[in-house]
Each structure stands twice: as structure tokens, then as C-alpha cells.
Structure 1
Amino acid sequence: MGEELSNPLSKHYKFRALNVYASTEWLADNKKKYRQVFDLHETNYIYAELSFFNKLFDEEDWEVEVELRCYAMKKPDKLLCSLPFRRKVSKYDPVMYIREGWGNKAAGAFWKRGTYYWEAWIGGRKAGSKFFYIEDAGAPVQPGNNPYLEVQSLKLYEGPYDDIIEDERLYYKSFSSEETRYVYVEAIMKNLHRERSWQCELYTKFYNDARELKGQVVRLQRIDKRDDIIKITAGWGSNVKGSWRKDRYTAELIFMDRLLAVIPFEVEEDFEEGLSSVLLPDQQSPVLLAPDESFNKTFAEVMERLNALIGLTAIKQQVLDHAKYIQFLQLRQEKGFTEKERINVHSVFIGNPGTGKTTVAKMMGLLYKKMGLLSKGHVHEVDRVDLVGEYIGQTAPKVKEALAKAKGGVLFIDEAYALARSNDDSKDFGREVIEILVKEMSSAGGDDFAVIVAGYPKEMKHFLDSNPGLKSRFKLHFEFSDYLPQELSQIAAFACQEKGVELEPEAKAKIDEIIVDAYRARDRSFGNARFVYDLIEKSKINLGLRIMSDDNPKDKPKEELARILLSDVEGLGAKPKVQLPEIPVDEDLLQEALQELQRLVGMEQIKEQINELVRLVRFYRETGRDVLNSFFLHTVFIGNPGTGKTTVARILTKMYKALGVLERGHMVETDRQGLVAGHVGQTAIKSAERIDEAMGGVLFIDEAYALTQAQGSNDFGDEAVQTLLKRMEDFRGRFFVFVAGYPENMEAFLKANPGLNSRFDKVLKFEDYSPRELHRIAMQMLAENHIVAEPQAEEHLRGYLAFLYDYRDKYFGNARTVRTVVNEAIKNHNLRLAALTPGERSGTPLNLLTLADVQAFKLDKSSFVFSKKGIGFRQREQ
């Protein structure tokens, strides 16, 4: 009665609600998009909606005086607007709505970040109030780009009205229609807006399969700027079991009128534990979202995880020192010091495969996040293929996309050196990637991401030298050494735990033995931890094959299904033996090759070595012994030009064919140009093509030392050597490699790579021909052309060749020089005959080389027939 006296209108209405919204879009049932949290960049007008029940419904019309006031929360509160109205309430309206707003048509012009509230007054009496909040994260919420939060995990569970604690939750993807009370959505999100505390308003809507809204829950939660993770639960249902009918449902999360995620579930006969896949607006396929617990760990816990890694002692200390220095710089900033340069978080990781580079990169991402340098701390891993486009205009968008995905975390570029090809390769777009990276890393927008590039030492040096700006961006260098055998043994034990197996003592000893052998024989392609994981995986496979070969594997006790025995690991470290093709010895072809060898002038020691080798191979073949695995047949040919290396290589190839060691018995001749390409990635392909051509025969590489002699910062000869070594090992016995070159250079070639010296255990050394042998070669060449030298001409040639021999240096052409001299003599011979008349010619021997034909060869350096003065000859000592 007192209320009616103080407010006579109270008998005409009953207050229903005061809601706030920003969109004037009409929805079903006369509703608006009610909210309490708005983004500054999207807000122009904020509306208040007063609604009350009409107690005079269906009786009479009446009038009401209403005032809507808006305040900004300050000290004291500031009145922004006062909007009075006098409205007629129709007897036909059971609920009366009064709506009005305030602001500016330009978004962000009027409303600033802060807390506000609307008040509704009816008949001079306050009827209700409603708070709302304006937030600013620097950018509006857009599809695929939410500056406030990121969904990390969505799970569903069942519970009563008052929820259940997290440790007791059971997660389901299907619920029982008879037992389910409330279906709860557990949302775990990363807080991306860490500059200040803010209000998070999350709508959770439950729909059935017909898209009918079953229920809606709104959660308004203040997020502290120190919170890394946002956890919100929302459930819908009833404490009375059976309120959920059998059907397919979806739970949808809405934030600031944007759909964050959709998680489907079913209600059937029984519960089914598990996680449902989640539909995200910016992705085509469902994904399984589960929280990464590592993001919840403290700085000390992340460092503890880093220290728990096997090995990497120097890296751990370097990372710890780097973290402490960053903390020191941050302390200086807190005390008022100003740093001229930003804290550098970009790094170069140098090391072989499997040395923990990616693992440490993830740790550093978390450390940077905990120290406030990165907002997310995740790692986005890419390589050349992910960054470089095939055509003009494709590269920049791919790099921008990779940087967008790495925003707030680490962009990890594996084998980054592949981006820096030769300077004259105008068709390559890798350099465009480097230029964009340099620009982004130096721009103002480069604060919230770190770039880590990884690769081999030599190639990474070339990468950093390829652009003047790269070295200044990457000031942190971490060198990952190969794991030691004892560390690899620990990794093997850890791999067993992960794979659910255990090694018997004898099997463990054998694994350690294999690891030590592999460590001793390692090159830069050694897989380190990957090699060990592969060993354990193969052991597990052998365990499975052994168990399943039993008549009754299901009767085996559980512990036997996890126990790796010595028999499961034996043979893992041994390389498979290559069996010789069953090809009988071709005696005719062998004798032909031996006769060709015997006809060669000089090289008696070479002939004896080859004859011994032939006898040994024949003996091994006749006694059934393994030729290929007893000794290598890859051969080094050392000698100066023209000493017969290529000729002997062809004869030796024919011999191996005759002995049945080689299937085809052909020889593919090549050099550096035939193996090395001009840019990264193509050399291995080019080398592999030559090797494939030589399969079943011999690959002869002339001047092989050119592969290891540095040709500049962008040389890829070493890539050809690596490809060659791997194929020589992988296809052992299927082809042989002959390498040839000068003595000093070939010695350096074999020392350039540890694998080269071990692959070539047969060396044939070709000495320079003596003057006597040079004379014999000249006479053979003349005989091949059906020419006979008269005694005076032969004697002059003998003296001239001895003269050339005396002045020779290491470039002396030996038989090649003889051929040049013989060809010149034959030319003079032909010119002399051509000058005769037919009658004179008829009385002259046509095949006789006279003194006149060779008199041009004077025993004087100035008379040398070579156009390049001094090439191949030295000054004779007086």
C-alpha cells in the first residue's frame, strides 16, 4: 500500500528488465543482440532497452513518464546523457518496450575504454540499472583475428546444477539420455590482451539438430592482465535426469557477436568418453582442441623442463644466460633506464639433424612468453616450400601468412639456407623472402614474434652473408653439437618409455654397441636422436613380428608384449650385404681387356696392381666368397694429364664386366659441371641422375678434386659429395666410382671429407711417361695412322720428346702432348705431299715420314707448338 502511495504508477506496471545493446538488428521475439561488453573500434551508439509488464493489459490505455540516464564510472560518476520520454501504453501490449541510445555515428569517436551504466526511471522512481563496458585491444575482433583471446581447448562433461570440480570431470562426446542432467562446456582460452585487465563476456548457446535454441548461458568474467589462461564453464539442462532427448546437438561459443567455435555432441543410450572435434570459423575441417599444459607453467618450471633435456649442456647454459640478461634489461627499464635498441629475440640455430633444435625453439617460445616478450609463445615451423612461391607475386603473400600464424610466438625456419641461392640466380624468389623478413624484423610490428633460423654451419654462414641486414637482426647464435654415445643411450631409454617397451640387458648392450658404431662413422647427416628413435621403433617392430609368429599370440602375458630381446635388435646396425649377380666369367672379354692393358706403353706397376686385383676377384668368385663386402672396388686414379687414367679406367670397367661383378659394365664419364648445379636443392638431383645412369657400371669423375675446392660462398660441390657418398653406401656393389685428378689435388680431395677416404681403398698412381716411353707412344700413334718414320725423322722426334720431357712441369700433357706433336708431324707430312704434282707424288712413298716433316720441332722453347706460352713446361735448370 505504501509503495502505491509513493508511486501511483506501480499499479499500472511491473518492471521486467533493463538491457543494453549496440546493434539495431531485429531478432525473433522482439529481441536485440543484448550485451554488456563492447569493443571501442566497433561501437558508435549504445542503446538501453527498458521493458515492463502492462498490468492494465486488455483493460485500458495509459501514459507513462520515463527517463533513461547514462553514467560513466568515475569519481564521482559522470552523467553523460538524460533522455526523458512520455509514452502511451496501449491496452493491447502485454509488455512495453522503450528503447533509446547515445553516442556518435563514427565508431570510436564518443565511447572510450571504461565502465558505464544505464539507469531507468519510471514516474520519477528508479526502476533498474545495467552496467556495460567498453574495451580496447588495439584492433577490432575480425574473423580469424581475435586480439582478446584464442580458444585452446573445448571439452564436454556432465554434472549437477552446481557443477563439479575440475579434477573429477569425465569428458564425453556422447551423453546418456536417461542419466544426463546438465551438459557443461569447458572452454580454455589464451589471454591475448595482456596490457591491462578487461571484461570477458562469453555466450554459450545450445542448439538441437533442427537449429532450435535449447538454452543459453552468459558468463561475464573479469580477466586480470596477469592471467595467461581463461577458464570458463557453462552448462544447460536440469537436475532432473531425462531432460535431454536423443538427438544431435551443438554448443556454440559467441564473443562480441563473433562465433568462436562450435562443438557437436550427441545424446544416445549411453555415455561415450572422449573429446569431440571442434569446428572453427576460419578452418574448413574439424580440429581436436586440447590444452597445451606447457603454457600454464611458470618461468621456473619451463627452465626446469629445459634442464631436464638429455645433453645440450652448453645450449642450456647459453639459454639461461640469455634469459637472465633479458631479465636484467627489463629491470633496468623498470628503474627508468632507456635502451636504444629493442631486446633481440631472433636466433640462429646451427647443428646436425636430431640435435634438439626444434625442441629448444619451443622452450624459448615459452620463456619469451613468460618474460612478457611474446603474447602466445607457440612455434610455427616452416621451410623453403612454405615461404617461396613458384611465380611472381606468390612469395610475399606466403611469407605474410607465415608471419601472421607466428604472431605472438616463434617463426622457426628449418634449413633456412635454402632461401639464399647464388647471387646471379634472378629467377629464384628465396631472396624476396629474406628481404621481407629483414623488413618485418626491423619494423614496429616486429615486436610480437621471434624468428629462429636453423641449418648446417657452412650453409648458414652463406645465408647470413646473403643479405647485409640479416647479421644485424640475428645476434644470438646457438651451436648444437652431436649427442655423445652415453647421451644417445639415455635417449634410447626415454624412447622406450614413450613407445611402451623395455630392453632386456643383452638387448640394451647391443643397442649401445650399435649407437657407438654409428657415432664413430657419423657424418653431418647423422640423425642423432632421430637415429636412436628409429632404432627403438625397428626393435619394437621386430618384437611384434616375433610375437605374432607364435601360434597363440593372445595367450602371451602382458609383460612379454613389451619386452625387447637380443634377437629383436640383432642385425639392426649391420648394413645389408649385396649379393653379386650370378653372371659367369666371360673369358674372351677378360682376355681382350687384359691384352688391351698389356699393349699400353709403360705403367708396369699399374698393370701389376690390376692383374693382382683381377686374380683376387676371380679367386673370390670361384670360391664363392663375398667380393663386395670384402673390399671396395671404388678406385682413385692419381696422375698428371695424359698418363692414361681414362684409358685404364675403361679397361678396368671392361674387366669387371667380364668377371661378372658389374651387370652392364658401361662407364659414364663426368666432371664437376656434370654433378653440380647453380642453386640449392638442384645439385643432389643432378648428381643422382648421373649416378642412376652409371648404375650397373662405373661413374668416372675426372678432376674430382674440383668438387671440394671452394668455388665461392655459394658453392654446392659438397652437396654433390654428400649425395655421392650416400649412394655409394646405399647401393654398394651396384655401381663403382672412379675418381681421377692431379696428385696434390686428389690428396686434398680425399682429406676434405672423412667419408671419402674410407670409401676408396684402391689407389692407382700414374707416373709421368719417360722419354723412352714417350717415343714408343709416338711410334704407336704413327703406326695407327699407317705412317712409318725414316731413321732421321724418328731420331729427331726422339730428341724433341726428350727435350719436352726435360722442360715439363705438373701440367705436362704426357701422351696428350705426344699426340699433339704427332698430329702436327702428320699435317706437315700431308702438306708436303699436297705440294707435289701427281707425277712427282707417284714416285714418292706416301706413308713415309721424313726429316723435313719434323724439322719444325726445334730444341728451343720459343719453337713450342703450343699457343699458350709456358703452359705445361718449366724453365730447365742450368
Structure 2
Amino acid sequence: MTEEFSKPGFKRHKFKELKVYASTEWLADNKKKYRQVFDRLETTYIYAELSFYNKHFDIEDWEIDVELKCYSLKKGRKEICDLPLRKKVSKYDNVVYIREGWGNKTEGSFWKNGTYYWEAWIEGEKVGTKYFYIEDAGQDFLPGENPYLSVHSLRLYEGPYDDVPELDRVYYKSFSGEETRYIYIEVMLQNLHISKAWQCELFAKFYNDARELKGQVVRLHRVEKKDEFIKITTGWGSNVKGSWRKDRYTAELVFMDRLIAVIPFEIDEDFVEGISPVWLPDRGQQIIPSIQQDDRGSFDDAMTSFDSLIGLSDIKQQVRNHADYIKFLQLRKERGFDESDNINVHSVFIGNPGTGKTTVAGMMGLLYRKMGLLSKGHVHEVDRVDLVGEYIGQTAPKVKEAIEKARGGVLFIDEAYALARSTDDTKDFGREVIEILVREMSNGQGDLAVIVAGYPKEMKQFLDSNPGLKSRFKFNFEFADYLPQELSQIARFVCKQKGVKLNEEAEKKVDELIIDAYRKRDRTFGNARFVNDLIEKGKINLGLRVMRNEDPRLLSRENLEMLELADIAKIDLKNLRPLPNIPIDEVLLRESVDELNRMIGMDKIKAQIHEMVRLVRFYRETGKDVLNSFFLHTVLIGNPGTGKTTVARILTKIYKALGMLERGHMVETDRQGLVAGFVGQTAIKTNEKIEEALGGVLFIDEAYSLTAKTGGAHGDFGDEAIQTLLKRMEDMRGQFFVFVAGYTDNMETFLKANPGLNSRFDKMLRFEDYMPDELLQIAMHMLDQSGLIPTPEAEEYLKSYLAFLYDCRDKYFGNARTVRNVVNEALKNQNLRLAALPPEERKNVPNNLLTLEDLETFKLDKSTFVFNRQTIGFKARS
């Protein structure tokens, strides 16, 4: 250790933090009232607190040279003070704090309105910078008189880490402990200091009922000159549900060391919609927050807001006509006309990505609410993954849950055509979703608008998939691609949103890129999303250019916001689509791994999967990307009943939890789902299945059936499916995984059928036959699920019989499926035994015991059964 300390260049310190404060009031744990915005008339000294880690902790005392400098940016860069210090560092201090200030003891006499910053230097090296702001409201900040702002409204809502759009917010006064992630405060403040721009620093503190601080968030918001209102959202929590415990809480807002508002809420069993009263300490009163603008406005106000959207002229007219017709029907009802049908508000949106379908859905929810057709008007957006279950019985509850979440508003189903696969796919539950939706739209509780969206051709197939579906959707809205001039308008709007501007050359270049992309567009053209990504890339290039300056802090505001030609010219349109940052879903990962661990046997396969989990965690810890970075096309080989399909489903959930796939769903299919009966159709069918699986896993069961039945002869369309699959597997590596499963010998033949097949698969999982003791464990588990307890004699005999079957097995042995057949036969025998007893006697016989008598039909004699290769199982001899 001493040798390491003596090496040239070794630093005995490590920078921790640089903070700013003005009050020397003593607080617990020697903390200060750290903040960055101060009122001029209240300020005497401004202090800098430098902290660093002592690498010689518990070893020796030493000394260090420190320098704290303060600068003003009011008219260029001007040095306010330079404070050199030589500090003795004690070996007993793990973290060292150095605090120095500058100013005057008379309030308001030294610091003037403006922007300042502290710099910290250690041993001649600059280690940190911290900005602070002095604001001047022109009058004293007296109790009960806030010259900067007043509280207009506070409301609470729940959401994920990246917040939720304003149209989707549902406001609560009580939250569900099991379902809550982040609790957000939507803060609306009235700006009382409108004569100039200023910095608003807001502290949001969340306390439990015992006044213990659960979390704190600080928001620094620049208020522009003449802004009437200041709107800020801030929240605390976790993306893992269940981090909030049942209790009473308060969310408290602090501005310039003054408590300005307190809003109470509860964590309980369920969500309770509503708005809690807000306590305003300065006024000494409670208020009910003001209603949001869209609630105060009329129907015409909502339509005016809708009309302000860029482009969509045909859609706007169609929506206005739709609204007028609904008002006409309402008028007829008011005048006593008998309208036998309820007013239909279900719609079909057809168009390419980024054409405003989701935005218009939100607007229509608002319009329907204004017209009294919906009680809330929010939008609950779902797709196939959110609606379709993996197993029988899972789909209906998922669909009903989505419907209830959308109740009162709009259920928006994106890419709805994915619910209606081709009629020859027998393994799909999407049709069950459609049937439930048809029932809900026909005779459900109402207070719901269903909007389905997708591409034109696929949406026609979707509407034709169920006889009653097309009649439920009375209104079709076709969203055309934005015109180049409209996309240019959107680009200017996006610039304003992102706080940047385009100089003349950059503006021309953006327009050129838009026109070029428009001319080359296909049905995947991103429209407004394309433009948003274009400006985002330009802003990134601006940032990189700015940070190459020797001291970027000296640059003007214009330099920090102006996009130049070089920033736009560097954009690589081929790689414009940014990858989402998907964190590890620890809850799903734990559940999936536990499900895997509970499976009987498969030790080698479990070890491989656990190894993969560890590897991905290591990648994340070292800062490497994992999304679309792994190539895990997998072959699952094994005899019948060895758990291939079950493990494939679990593995997909693990990959989803680890964030290795964008969507993390599994599309299950077989030869029927990929191969068509006519030339040229198989490639189309296979490509559609691959498109459906993008971002997830395509699982092909009995994949060997794709190889030509004539030993590889041409003419079998399965070969066309393989060729199509091979190309997409290579071209889109990492964007989806292909799992192929089948019996050992058949799969080895399948992999040899095409020279490129074997090399495309990166991983092979071999499922061995279950050993006799594992077969017994499976049988005992199945018996337990059936509510049966075997007697010791029956358990011993069952063990012997399963060992006998294992010894007699061949490549068609059914493993767990054979065990299921045995258990079902034993259950039938047990029921027949009980049925043969008189009712009086049956009362005295336990009905949950499996006895040796129930297993008498299972003989340990090869001559009593023959193997039936047609059904892959055992058949009793007559």
C-alpha cells in the first residue's frame, strides 16, 4: 500500500462535490441549506463547500493546497475573489470539507442581480464548478408576501421514471401501494416577477407520517420575461412497484428557504381519483387547486387547440364533421327522437408511423369528454404484447384490465392488425382479444372509445378477421404522410421545444434532408418522428462542438443554442433511430429465474442461462450497451416432453427483463404459420411473421418440418421459408432472436439441410431425457396439483414403474408427457375405485389418497404394452 502511495502522480484526494449555501444556521449532520438561487436583499455572504475523499484515511495526517475562486458573468467574466488555503487533513477524516464565503455582513450591500459561479482548485488542478444566481424582486421578501410567485395549483399523479404525457395524466389523492412507481407533483405557479427573466429553484420534499424524509428533488427552471405561469413537474419513487409503503404522506414545496405549499396524500390498497386540498403556510389557508386549462375551456377551445396542430387538414375536417354529427344526434335525443343505437365513438386510424395518430387520439378523448360522451377523456395506449397472454386463460384477464384502465377515456390499440394473424395459425390468442373487444363495444358498460391504428393493408385484414368487427367501427381516419413543407414547420416547432435555433444554412440543410427522405420514403417512414430525431441529432452535434472549446462557459447564449451547417451535415441518416435505454426489470428477472429454478432437472441448461444473466449484468456494470448487442439465435434439441417450449418462454422473459430486446415478446409458430401453398406466398408469410417478432423472439416449433420431405428436393415451400429466415436473421442480427425446437435426430437433419443454417445459430440447448428420480418428482408435482397424496406403497410402485418405462425408452419416449399420461390414468383409476363404493361407505374413505390398487393397471412387463409411434406414447395391449 505504501509503495502505491509513493508512486509519481498519485493523488491523495478524490473530488466529491462542490455546493453553495448562504445560511450558516446549524442543521443535523452538519448539513447546510444548499441552494443556487438567492434574493439580493436577503443575502450577506455566499459560501462554497468543497468536499473530497481522503485516500490516506486511517493512515497518516497530511497537508493540501486548495483555492476557491468566485466569478461574475454579468458583463463578461469577472473575478470576485480568490481564496488560497493550505489545509491540514487528519487521518481520522474520511471525507474532508472546506467552507469559505465572500460578501458583506450587511444584507443587499454586496451581491447584485446576476449569474455567478464558484471554482474549486486542488493542488493546482481545477476539480469543480458550481453556478449560483442572485435575483432582485425590487422589494423585501416579507412573511406572507412572496414577490416572485404564488401557488396556482398542485395536483398529484402516478407514472414511470420518464413521466407521462399531460393528456394521459390521471390525478389521485390516494395511491395503490402495490402499483405505484413515481408520485409526481404537477406544480402551476403564477409569475409575479414578469418584468425580467429569472431563475426559479424549487425543492420538492416527500415526508411520511412520522416526518421522515423519503425523498427530495430540486428543479431549477428559467422563467422567461412576461411568462404568466410557471409549470413544473417533479416526482419521487422507483420504477419498481411496491417501493411506497402504506402510510400518510405530505409533499412539500420550498422556495428560497420558505415553505410555500403542502399537499397531503395516502398510500393504501387502491387508487382514488381526486385532487387533495393544498395548505399554503404564507396565507394560513387551504385551497382546492385550480382546474386545468382543458377542463376550464369549452368544446370550441378544444377544437381551436386541435386546429393549431401542424398539417392534418383532412383529419381536422373529418374530426370536425364527426363532432358535428355527434352533436346532431345529441340534439335529436334532446328533442325526443328515438335513436335506437348508442352514439358510436369507436374509430380506425390508418397511416404510417409519426403521422399524429396518438396525438389525435388524445385530442378526440378530450373532445368526447367536452361533449359528455366520456367521463375522463384520457388515453390508455396498448399493443399486442399488453393484451395477448402466453398461456390459455391469460389473455382475457389482460384485455379486461386494459379496458378498465381505459374506462372513461380512449383505449388506443397500436398495430392492432397484430391481433389478427392468418387463419391457419392455430397457436394464437389474438383472436380471443378481438372477440372480447367486440363484446365490449356491443354491450359493455360503455364510457369507452376504442381506437385501433395501423398500416392500411394490415388494418383491412384486421377488420375482416371477425364478422362483427367492421360494423363496430363507424369512423375511418386516414393519416397521410406529412408534406415536406409541413415537416419543415414541425422541425421549427421541435427546435423551439428543444431550446435550439437553426441558422440560415442549417435551416436549408434540414429542408434538403427532409425532401430527400420524403422522396425515398416507404411505409416505414417516420414522418414527425424522423424530424424529431433529426433535430435531436443536430443538438447532440452542437453540444459536442461547444464542448471542444477551451472554456465553453465563456460562450454566449447564442453560441449555446444556434445549430450550424456542420451540426446538420454530420448527421448519419442511416443510423438516425436512437436506441431506448431499457433498465433491468429486477422483479420480472427474479420471477423468471425463480420459474426456471423450479423446473425439475436441466442442470446444464440452467447453468448456461445463469451464466448469460451474469454476463449481461457485467456488461451493464461496465457501461456497455446490451440492447441489440447480443446474437442469440438458439436451437433447442430434445425428445418429447423435455420442457423445450416452457424453457423458451422463460428465456424470452429473462431476455426481456435484462433489457436485451426492445419489446421482449414471443411469437410462437410452426410450419403452418410460415409456409403457404403457392409459389411466392411463403416469403411474404414468413416476412410478416418476422416483422411481428421484431424486438422479441420468433419461436418455431418442430422446425425440422420446414425441410423438404423428399430429402431436400426442390419444390417444397419450406425451403423458401428457410431462405427468407436466413437472410433476415443475418441482416437484422440483434434486433430479434430465432428459437427453433424439435426432436434430436430430426433437428440435426434440419441443421444440415441448408449450408447456412448451422452457422446462423449462436447457441444450442440440449434437453436430456429425465432420469427416473426426476420423472418421479414430476409425477409427485402433478399429483399434488390434482390434490392427490400417494400412499407409501403407491409412491414406491410408481417409482418402480417410471424407472421401468425409462429403461424401456427409445428416441420417441415422451418424458414429462408420458408422466402426465400415467398420472391421468392413475387419477381415472382412483375416481373409478371411489365411484364403485356405496355412498355410505364412500364417506369413510379418504378421497384424496392414491393407493396401490389405483396403479394395478401399470404392469412391469414389456409384453403388456406396445409402443405406438403414431401418437408418440404408450398404448395398452388388448
Band the TM-score falls in, shorter-chain normalisation: 0.3 to 0.5
TM-score, length-normalised on structure 2?
Answer: 0.39
In the superposition, the TM-score normalised over structure 1's length comes to 0.39
